[in-house]
Amino acid sequence: MTTSDTAGFDAIVIGAGFSGLYALHRLREQGLRTVVLEKAENVGGTWLFNRYPGARCDIESIEYSYSFSDETQQEWVWTETMPRQPEIEAYLNFVADRLDLRRDIRFHTEVTGMTFDEAASRWEVRTAAGDTLTAPFVVAATGILSVPKEPEIAGMDTFGGLSLFTSRWPKHDVDLTGKRVGVIGTGSTGVQLIPVVAQQAEHLTVFQRSPAYTLPWEVRPFDDGELDELKANYAEIRAAQREHAVGAARLSAFSVMFEMMTKPPLKSASREEQLRAIDEGGIIGALSWGDVFFDIEANQMAAKLYGEAVARIVEDPATAAALTPTHPFGCKRPIIDQGYYQTFNRDNVTLVDLRKGPIVEVTPTGIRTEQGDYELDAIIYATGFDAMTGAMTRISVTGRDGMSLADFWSTEGPYAYLGIAVAGFPNLFIVQAPGSPAPASNFVTALEHHVEWIGDCIEYLRANGYSTIEALPDAQREWIEHTAELVAPTVLVHPTCNSWYNGGNVPGKKRMYMGYTAGIPEYRRRCDEVVDAGYAGFKLA
C-alpha cells in the first residue's frame, strides 16, 4: 500500500471498538468513503484486550449495547443481566458482520502519527507499516480505557514465573490451578478477577494499595422469556435511558450512586439510623446518604460505616480493617462486585495491605515488600489505564502550526471543547475526549450521541461548502471552566482523590477531572445549542 492507492478517503476512523464500529456505519450511511484503522486482529477494542477471568460490564446488557439499530438489538441474544467480556466481544463481532463493517476495516494497522496539511485541509495519517492515508476528517475512536498503565515496579522483568496483564490477557486459557498467584491492583478489574482466581489458585496473595469501595449486586442469567419481554419494550427502555443522567435507567454502578444522592444526609443521622442503614442495606447502605458526594466529613463518616459493614462479612478483623478504604468514596469509579469480600474468608487467600509497607521490587521468585517477601508462581498486574488521553498522546498528532496534541495536553492540561474537539486540530473529532460525559455515564449511550453529532457536523460542513471546522480556544476554555465548576462542590476535587478520572493514577499526568457531570440530557441540550447557533465556539472555514 502506498500513499497513492490509499488517498481519497472522506474520513478515517481510528479504532474498531464500540465507537469506531458505529462511526464507520454512520459515516458510510451518509455516503462518506470511510476506512477504519485498527491495530488489533479483530473488532472489540477494550473488550477484545481485557479478557481476564471475571471480566464483566457493570451496566445491564440491554442498555450497554447499541440503540441505533433496531435489527441488531432485536436479533442479538444476551444471556445475563450484566454481560461478561466474551459475550460483549461476540456481540461486537455480530454487529460488525450484521452491518457488513469488516470490508472497510484494516486490521493489524496501528496509527503512529498524523499531521494536518493546512494547504490541502486534509489529515495525513501514518501507520506503523509505513503507509500514509489521507482524508479531510479523522474520527479518533481510540477509547478512554485502552492504554494500560504500566505499574513501573522495579524488577518486573526478572520474575521467573508467569507474568500476566489483565489488559492484554492471553487468548488461550490460562490454568492457574496449583499455582501461588499474586494480584496487584484492586480497582474494578482486581475486584472482578480476585474471586475467580481464588477458586483456581493454590494460594492467592492480593497486594492492595487502595482498598476498593464495592457495590455488591446479583448478576444473573435472564429467566425464560425475560429477554423477549424486554425486547418487546425496547423503545421505552431506550427512551428512558436517553433521558437518564447517566445514560442507563436500569441498574448500573452509576445509577446506584445516583440513587444515593436522593437519600437523607449522614451528618444528621442518629447512630440508630446509621446502623439500620447497614442492617438493611449492607455496604451499599453504608454509602447511601445524600451528603456523601458533597461533604468530605460525611464522606469520611460513610467510610467508617462502610468499614463496619465490611467487618460483618470478613471474619478476620485485621483483614476487614485492611479492606476499609480511607480515600473518599466517589473519587474512583464504583464497582459492582460478586462475592469480593467473602473471598477474603477463604483459607487460600491472603491480603497484603501495602499502606503498611509498599512493594519494593519484583524478584525472580516473587514480590518483595517492606513487610516481607512473598514467593509466587504467577503475578497478575491489574494496575489500570492511562485513561482518556493515553491513546491519543501515544500517536504523534500534529495540528496547525506544528502544534503537538501530546505536548498541549501535558503542558496546559487535557483540554477539549464539548469533549469532542481540540483547538488547533481542525477536522479531528475525538470520540469521548476530556470534558465529555463518558467517564460518569453509560459509555455506549455517550458514544452514540458523539458519533451522531460528529456525523451531522460533517454533513453540515459538506452541505454548506465548508472545508474545515476547528474549536476556538476561548470556547474550549469556557467549556473546561464549566466542567470544573460542576465538580467543584463535590468530593471529586479533594486532594486525596487519585483516579483515572483525574489523571491522578498516572505519575506526572496533569491533574483535572476529565468528565462532564451534568448528565447526558443536559450535555445533549448544550451540544444542540451549539449546533443551533451555527456551531458556536467553532470556526468554520
Question: Interior CA angle at 286 toward 281 and 287, to 5°?
Answer: 110
Residue nearest to ligand NA7 (CB): 187
- Opening angle at CA 469, ends 464 and 473, nearest 5: 145
Among 20, 187, 247, 537, binds ligand NA7 (CB under 6 A): 187
Q: Which stretch binds ligand NA7 (CB under 6 A): 64-72, 180-188, 310-318, 483-491?
A: 180-188
- Cβ 383 to ligand NA7 shortest distance, Å: 4
Q: Are 181 and 378 in contact (CB under 8 A)?
A: yes
Does residue 151 belong to the site contacting ligand NA7 (CB under 6 A)? yes
Tell me the DSSP string of 79-102. Answer: -BSS-BHHHHHHHHHHHHHHTT-G
By CB under 6 A, residue 188 contacts ligand NA7? yes
Nearer to ligand NA7 by Cβ, of 185 and 424: the residue is: 185
**Which range binds ligand NA7 by CB under 6 A, 30-38, 182-190, 236-244, 482-490?**
182-190
Closer residue to ligand NA7 (CB): 186 or 288: 186
Which one of 109, 189, 389, 468 is in contact with ligand NA7 (CB under 6 A)? 189
Angle, helices 18-29/443-463, rounded to nearest 10 degrees? 30
Q: Which stretch binds ligand NA7 (CB under 6 A): 20-28, 73-81, 145-153, 270-278?
A: 145-153
d(CA 145, CA 389): 9
Q: Which of 45, 53, 143, 190 binds ligand NA7 (CB under 6 A)?
A: 190
CB of 58 to ligand NA7, least distance (A): 7
C-beta closer to ligand NA7: residue 52 or 137: 52
| Nearest distance from C-beta of residue 137 to ligand NA7, angstroms | 29
Task: Pick between residue 28 and residue 332 the one whose CB is nearest to ligand NA7.
Answer: 332
Among 84, 238, 333, 449, binds ligand NA7 (CB under 6 A): 333
319: CB partners within 8 A, 6+ apart: 344, 351
Query: Across 452-524, where does the E strand assignment appear?
Result: 469-471
C-alpha radius of gyration, the chain, whole number:
23
Find, among 51, 177, 144, the residue nearest to 441 by Cα: 144
Q: Is 209 in the site for ligand NA7 (CB under 6 A)?
A: yes
| Spatial CB neighbours of 276, under 8 Å, sequence gap ≥ 6 | none
**208 alpha carbon, distance to own chain's centre:** 21
Specify the residue, 85 or 476, whose C-beta has the smaller distance to ligand NA7.
85
| Cβ pair 488, 476 in contact under 8 A | no
Instruction: Find the part of the chain contacting ligand NA7 (CB under 6 A) among 24-32, 186-194, 226-234, 515-523.
Output: 186-194
**383 lies in the site for ligand NA7, by CB under 6 A:** yes
Nearest C-alpha neighbor of 327 from the set 177, 536, 491: 491
Name which of 387 and 451 has its Cβ closer to ligand NA7: 387
Under the criterion CB under 6 A, does residue 210 sit at the interface with ligand NA7? yes
Question: What is the closest distance, in whole angstroms, from the C-beta atom of residue 211 to ligand NA7 in the complex?
Answer: 8
Query: DSSP letter at 416?
Result: -
Among 82, 99, 139, 184, binds ligand NA7 (CB under 6 A): 184
Report the alpha-carbon distance of residue 420 to residue 442 in Å, rounded: 17
Name which of 385 and 523 has its Cβ closer to ligand NA7. 385
Under 8 Å between Cβ of 136 and 467? yes
Confirm or reject binding of residue 323 to ligand NA7 (CB under 6 A).
no
Minimum gap (Å) between residue 187 Cβ and ligand NA7: 2
Strand-pairing partners, residue 380, are 164, 183
Query: Which residue type is seen at 349?
Result: V
Instruction: Please select the residue that binds ligand NA7; options are 331, 359, 420, 447, rule is CB under 6 A.
Output: 359
Report the nearest approach of ligand NA7 to the CB of residue 105 (Å).
Answer: 24
- Give backbone dihedrals phi and psi of 70, rounded to 5 degrees, phi first: -65, -30
Nearer to ligand NA7, 151 or 282 (CB): 151
Contacts of 11 (CB under 8 A, 6+ apart): 27, 32, 33, 34, 35, 135, 136, 137, 138, 139, 458
Cα–Cα distance measured from residue 306 to residue 70, given in angstroms and rounded to the nearest whole number:
42
Which one of 206, 251, 382, 454 is in contact with ligand NA7 (CB under 6 A)?
382
Give the helix ranges, DSSP H, for 244-349.
Answer: 253-260, 271-287, 296-311, 317-322, 340-343
Site string for ligand NA7, 469-508 (x = CB under 6 A): -----------------------------x-x----x---
Considering the complex, state which of residue 148 and residue 435 has its C-beta at the smaller distance from ligand NA7: 148
Torsion over CA: 155, 157, 159, 162 (sign) = positive
Q: Please state the closest distance from residue 286 (CB atom) to ligand NA7, in A.
A: 20
Smallest distance from ligand NA7 to CB 472, Å: 31
Nearer to ligand NA7, 87 or 470 (CB): 87
Give every CB contact of residue 335 below 8 A, 6+ residues apart in sequence. 58, 187, 188, 191, 192, 212, 213, 214, 215, 253
Considering CB under 6 A, how many residues would be counted as binding ligand NA7?
23
Q: How far is the CB of 439 from ligand NA7 (least distance, A)?
A: 8
Does residue 185 interact with ligand NA7 by CB under 6 A?
yes
Site residues for ligand NA7 per CB under 6 A: 145, 151, 153, 184-190, 209-210, 332-333, 354, 359, 382-385, 498, 500, 505
